[in-house]
Amino acid sequence: MAKTRARKIRRLVLDVLKPHSPTLPEFATKLSSMPGVDGVNVTLIEIDKDTETIKITIDGQLDYGTIRSAIEEWGGVVHSIDEVIAGSLSSENIERRRRVRTREGI
């Protein structure tokens, strides 16, 4: 049952520290080839002598544990989960619907 619940995650935004290898294109390609992943955006935030801090946005039908494990296998560490969208609608879509209904009701 926990696996079913985890698969309802539609978007993850992660703050990750990783070594220079794999490169950002390789890292994004590896993530995008994972089961359930529809799209990946990797943004370089900071770079130093040995590591890179990156922000990763992943969309699809996601399993956080599997994604975290893969990142760790490639030498990365998830510093934080900065955003999660789960369920069939995001809270942004629900709020937008409420505003439209309110305007129509005026």
With CA atoms as reference, report the closest residue to 9 among 71, 82, 59. 59
Domain count, the chain: 1
What's the CATH number where 6 sits?
3.30.70.1340
Mean pLDDT over 69-76 rounds to: 97
For 3, 57, 81, 99, the CA distances from 16, given in Å and listed in that order, are 23, 11, 9, 35
Give, rounded to a whole angstrom, the gap between the first and last alpha carbons of the chain. 44
Residue 86 bridge partners (DSSP): 9
- pLDDT at position 6, please? 45
How does pLDDT run across 80-95, given as a tens digit for each residue?
A: 999 999 987 656 665 6
pLDDT band at 100 (very low <50, low <70, confident <90, very high): low
Q: Domain range spanning residue 84?
A: 2-105
Over the stretch 37-63, which tens digit does the pLDDT of each residue have? 999 999 999 999 999 999 999 999 999
**CA distance linking residue 67 with residue 49, whole number of Å:** 26
